[in-house]
Amino acid sequence: MAGKRTLPLAGALLALASVAGMLVTGVSAWLSAAVLLLWLGSLWLAAPEPEIELERVDAAEVSRDAVSEAIEPLGQPLLVLEGTRIVLANAAARAALGRHIGGQDARIALRHPDAMRLLDMNDGDSVSISGFTGTRSLWQLTRRRIDGTHWMIELADRTAEADISRAHTDFVANASHELRTPLASIIGYVETLADAGPSIDEQTSKRFLETVLREARRMLSLVEDLMTLSHVEAEKHDRPSEQLDLAQLAARVVAEVSSLRGKERVELAAAEQDCTVLGDPGQLEQLLRNLIDNALKYGGPDEPVHVAVAKTGKQGVSLTVTDRGPGIAPEHLPHLTRRFYRTDPGRSRASGGTGLGLAIVKHIVERHRARLDISSTLGEGTSVRIDFPAAERLAA
C-alpha cells in the first residue's frame, strides 16, 4: 500500500523566495500566486513515496512466497485464508478440491454446510464431513489461526480409516453370526436329548448326536480358519525368505489329497522342473489345499480338478487350479476374496465351507508379492491362477 507524499522543504522555500522577488519587481499578485501554486504542485507530484511503505509491501510478498514454498510439497492438503478468501492452496489441496480454488471465496470453494460452519469457529476447532469429495469419503477439517487476518485450514482424509473400521465391524458381526448358527443347533439337539431322557429311541438319538458332531466340527473349522486368517494378516508385511520348488510342493499336496476317499479326481496336469520361489512352505501348502478344496466343492461332482505349475516370463512361476463345473456368474468374481462371501450360501454351508478360504488365499498371495486372478465361464468351470515373481527379484 502506497504512503503519503510530502513536499520537499528546500524546494518549497525556493518557490516562496522566487515569488517574493516577482512581487518586488512589480509582477501582478495574481500571476505570482498562480506561479507559486504551479511550482508547489509540481514539487508535490515529484515527491517520492516513503521507502518504509515499499519495504512493507515487499516484506508481505516475501512472507507469502515463503509460506507457499513451505506448504507446497506437504502431503496434507492445506489452505491459507485471508478473511474468507483462499490466498494459498498447496498441491495436495488442489488435487483434492480442484486447481481452481486459489483466489476463491472459501464458502464457494468448499461448498458444504459444515465447512461453512468451520469458518466461524475458533482456533483448533474441527468438523468431520461425510461425502466431502465423494460418496463414501470422510474428511476432517481443522481451523488454525496464523495472525489477525489469516487462517489455515488443514484437511485430513479419514476415508481409509472409516473403511477399516467398517470392515472390522462387519467382520465381527459376520463371525458372530457364523458361530451362533451351529452353536444354536448344538444346544437345541442336546436339550432335546436331555429332556427326552431314556424315552428317546436309539435311532433318533444317534441321528441327533451325528448332527451335534457335524455342527461342532463346523464350529471348529470356522475357529481354525479365523485363527489362520489372523496369523496370515499379522505376517503379510514380512517377506518370505525360504527358497522352495513350487512344483515339488504341488506334487506332494496333490498326491496326499488324491489318496483320500472321494478326492481321487484331483490331478497334477503339469509341473515343470526348477520352479523356484521365495515362500513360506506352510502357507503355500495351505493356499494350495484351499484352492483344491474349493474346486472339489464347487466343480462338477464327477469332473477332474487340474493343478498345474509352470514357469512364466522373467523367471516367474504360475500356479493354476482349474475345475469343470457350473462356473461363477461375473457379478460375483470381484467379491470372492471377501470374508464370508458366498455365491451360494446354502450349498457352501452344506459342504462345510466357512467362507474364509479365498480370504486366506488372498492374504497369502499378498505376502508373497504375487498376483491372484480368478476367471470363470458359466457352464464350463473356474480357473484360479497365481503368478509368483522371480525369486531373485523378490529377494531384492
Instruction: Give the C-alpha separation, 228 to 231, whole Å.
Output: 5
Q: Which residue of the set 168, 177, 306, 332 is catalytic?
A: 177
How many other CB atoms are found less than 10 A from the CB of residue 93?
Answer: 26
The CA distance from 291 to 239, in Å, is 22
Q: Cα dist. 103→60, 143, 289 in Å?
A: 17, 18, 60
What grid cell was written down for 289? 489345499
Q: Cell 514380512 belongs to which residue?
A: 238
Q: Let me know if 177 is a catalytic residue.
A: yes
3-state helix, strand, coil in the chain (%, to 5): 55, 20, 30
Distances (CA, A) of 245 to 51, 309, 370: 80, 10, 16
Quote the crossing angle between the two packed helices 357-367 and 202-235, to the nearest 10°.
20
Start-to-end CA distance of the chain, whole Å, equals 60
C-alpha cell read off for 42? 509540481
Q: CA–CA separation, 339 vs 177, rounded Å?
A: 13
Q: Buried b vs exposed e over 346-374: b needs ≥16 C-beta within 10 Å? A: eebbeeebbbbbbbbbbbbbebbebebeb
Catalytic residues: 177
